[in-house]
A and B are shown apart, each in its own frame.
Chain A
Amino acid sequence: NAGVTQTPKFQVLKTGQSMTLQCAQDMNHEYMSWYRQDPGMGLRLIHYSVGAGITDQGEVPNGYNVSRSTTEDFPLRLLSAAPSQTSVYFCASSAGTSVHNEQFFGPGTRLTVL
């Protein structure tokens, strides 16, 4: 099993550009989520999904969209990048339909917005 994979590992964007961060898992997990991690802020939940076709907002959803067309994939879209979105983004998945269980994290995407 590859576990949770994320692409790209690094990305530099200009303000106003859009892009999609990819996330995939091969563990047949129902629950998937996106976090951002910033110094002094800890991990903050952006969006999450409890299964294919179901998504919901987390703590800091503004400026981001998600979709969940399959169990395996959970892409995160930045609509119009801003410097405030410079961060490390982690995708995570867990068995079951809630955050009640151990989460498996992807390796992260380091995003810089100029």
Chain B
Amino acid sequence: GQNIDQPTEMTATEGAIVQINCTYQTSGFNGLFWYQQHAGEAPTFLSYNVLDGLEEKGRFSSFLSRSKGYSYLLLKELQMKDSASYLCAVREEAGNNRKLIWGLGTSLAVNP
């Protein structure tokens, strides 16, 4: 079946590093997205991984291991504005059927 698991909530301190994990079980895996969503706002794209390894983009990095069904989003030098929900989404493709499966999101609170 299709399943995406993320921690519901995390807290971290300003200036620190935090890792948000995402595990998934899907058939026909074809890519994984991370989105950021501030309270009361729309999701915005952060990263995309389709091959194993680490993708770095400024303070944010995303890692994928397809064999383990595992990804993480790494946020460095945390700032107060990083307080948001982080959504993991897996792209699944089976024949002509393509879909995006969303996790419930991890709510990150950054404290001073």
Contacts and interface: CB of A to CB of B under 8 A. Distances in A.
| Chain B associates with chain A | yes
Contacts of A98: 98
Contacts of B104: 40-42
A107 B103 contact: no
B98 A99 contact: yes
Interface string B22-65: 00000000110100000001111100100000000000000000
Interface in A38-84: 40-45
Interface of A: 40-45, 90, 98-100, 102-108
Interface of B: 30-31, 33, 41-45, 48, 87, 89, 91, 98-100, 102-105
Contacts of B91: 99-100
Contacts of B42: 90, 105-108
Contacts of A100: 30-31, 91, 98
Nearest to A39: B104
A45 B44 contact: no
A22 to B, nearest CB: 15
17 contacts: A41-B104, A42-B102, A42-B103, A42-B105, A43-B87, A44-B102, A90-B42, A98-B98, A99-B91, A99-B99, A99-B100, A100-B91, A102-B33, A102-B48, A105-B44, A107-B41, A108-B41
